[in-house]
Amino acid sequence: MIQPSKKSIIIADDHVSVREGLAQIIEGCEGVEIVAYADNGHSLVKLVELKKPDLVISDIRMPEMDGLDAAGVIKGLSPGTRMIAYIADETDYLFLQLLQADFSGIVLKRSSKKEMIMALHIVLGGDEYFCTYAQERINHLIRKGLYNPRKRFVKPLLSEREEEILLMICRGMITRQIAEKLHLSTRTIESYRENLLKKTGSVNPAGLVYYAYKEGLIQNIDKIG
């Protein structure tokens, strides 16, 4: 009797302990096998191109190329590869990015072994799976009108221009400098500042910096120049 071929999986995370932990969970599942490990986005893309796996389970915060950028490349290289985001962060900004990138599953690293196994089988079966914590966050985004699952609509929390100005503020640039850099009036930049304060729930520039750091817009606050 011909045995059905196993579903191939690549695990990507820059922490060895996380990769080993996932491997222990997956190796106990029938019908699947881990074919490779990656510790950054660049190596993940190369491995996907070579192996064409059925599934990638990937962290998002990785060196050289993050999981979101890697996911965009993987879609073109191997359209049949499905992806589960395995994350520690729980911010609105990150979840909107994941939904926009069309990940088939989202599992938080504090989720149970049972939920990871469930995600594995459901996503490989062609459906989506969001762990309990992820679904709570998604429901929150739906209530805020930032995500419509039926229409697959994701509304950005910040526009590209707002994000650009926020990062300039984080770098310590004052209104006049930002206005000169973007060829806009100081009045326009002040309006952007006020809107950023409202959208992020901040009361001052320090609050904006904290928001950008918390939401993963800046990876290391000490490196802001």
Instruction: Based on the fold, state whether residues 40 and 100 are members of the same structural domain.
Output: yes
pLDDT band at residue 97 using 50, 70 and 90 as cut-offs:
confident
Residue type, 80: G
Instruction: Based on the fold, state whether residues 88 and 195 are members of the same structural domain.
Output: no
Instruction: Based on the fold, state whether residues 79 and 113 are members of the same structural domain.
Output: yes
pLDDT band at residue 220 using 50, 70 and 90 as cut-offs:
very low
Distance in angstroms (rounded) separating the CA atoms of residues 104 and 121: 12
Domain that residue 164 falls in? 160-223
pLDDT at 79: 92
Residue whose token pair is 């890697």: 70
Report yes or no: 51 and 6 within 8 Å, Cβ to Cβ: no
Boundary-marking domain end, from 154, 179, 204:
154
| Entry pTM | 0.73
Distance in angstroms (rounded) separating the CA atoms of residues 27 and 210: 40
* pLDDT surpassing 90 at residue 42: yes
Q: How many domains does the chain have?
A: 2
Question: Can you tell me the mean pLDDT for 134-162?
Answer: 84
The better pLDDT of the pair 221, 111 is held by: 111
pLDDT at 30: 87
Report yes or no: 19 and 37 within 8 Å, Cβ to Cβ: yes
Instruction: Based on the fold, state whether residues 110 and 191 are members of the same structural domain.
Output: no
Sheet holding 55-58, edge to edge: 32-38, 7-12, 55-58, 82-87, 105-108, 129-130
pLDDT at 3: 53
Distance in angstroms (rounded) separating the CA atoms of residues 83 and 70: 11
Instruction: Based on the fold, state whether residues 23 and 133 are members of the same structural domain.
Output: yes
Boundary-marking domain end, from 110, 133, 154:
154
Instruction: Based on the fold, state whether residues 90 and 15 are members of the same structural domain.
Output: yes
Question: Can you tell me the mean pLDDT for 32-54?
Answer: 95
Distance in angstroms (rounded) separating the CA atoms of residues 66 and 3: 37
**Residue 1, in any domain of the structure:** no
Distance in angstroms (rounded) separating the CA atoms of residues 195 and 208: 11
Question: Can you tell me the mean pLDDT for 171-184?
Answer: 92
From the CA atom positions of the chain, what is the Rg in Å?
Answer: 20
Report yes or no: 133 and 193 within 8 Å, Cβ to Cβ: no
